[in-house]
Amino acid sequence: MIKVMTPDEGLLLALLNTTPTVAGEVTDRLADPEEAYAWIEEHAGEGHLEEDLELLRSTRDTLQALVHGEAAPTALAPALDGVSYQAVIGDTGINWELATPRAHTLAARAVVAWDALQHTAPGRLRSCENTDECTLFLIDHSKSNSARWCSMAGCGNRMKARRHYERRKNAQTAD
């Protein structure tokens, strides 16, 4: 059974992937405020346009460092400042909803999604193995935990073609 990504896992992955490599250069989709607000609207809707861009960028950078093993979880503290869960009573019982300062909502949701993955699926959030050309991340929901690339159509095909070329080249030099 393949697990479906939750909305906040999708937000986490989208945030991590705001620094793609384009034409050999790492770009930052959150560096320009206009482009950043377009990204926010695309991934979270107009209701989040008051998001603190500096906090969102620093949270993204910290999450990327955590995935690479270059930071400690305590570095996420600014994104969780003023964050709590609130009980909401409904007809079917009690639900717990994330309560955040308005300008911290996306950063807090991404951090909470990262923490949930760390507890429920450790090691499933990682960098694409095409490290020469790609700076993207993936969440592996495969049963075997064997996903290696951000995209099979992109990086996966490139890496397989590269290995095939190397095998053929080595086979020709051995003859």
CATH number at residue 98: 1.10.3300.10
What is the number of alpha carbons within 13 Å of residue 162 lying toward its C-beta? 10
Arithmetic mean of pLDDT over the chain: 86
Distance CA 112, CA 98 (A): 9
- What residues contact 42, with CB distance under 8 A and at least 6 apart? none
140, 126 in Cβ contact below 8 A? yes
Residue 129: pLDDT band (50, 70, 90) is confident
Residues 149-175: what's their mean pLDDT? 63
Domain count, the chain: 1
Indicate whether 52 belongs to any domain. yes
Indicate whether 2 belongs to any domain. no
Indicate whether 125 belongs to any domain. yes
> pTM to 2 decimals?
0.83
List the domain range (segments joined by +) for residue 134: 7-174
pLDDT in tens, 33-59: 999 999 999 998 888 889 999 999 999
Indicate whether 30 belongs to any domain. yes
Indicate whether 147 belongs to any domain. yes
Indicate whether 1 belongs to any domain. no
pLDDT in tens, 9-22: 999 999 999 999 88
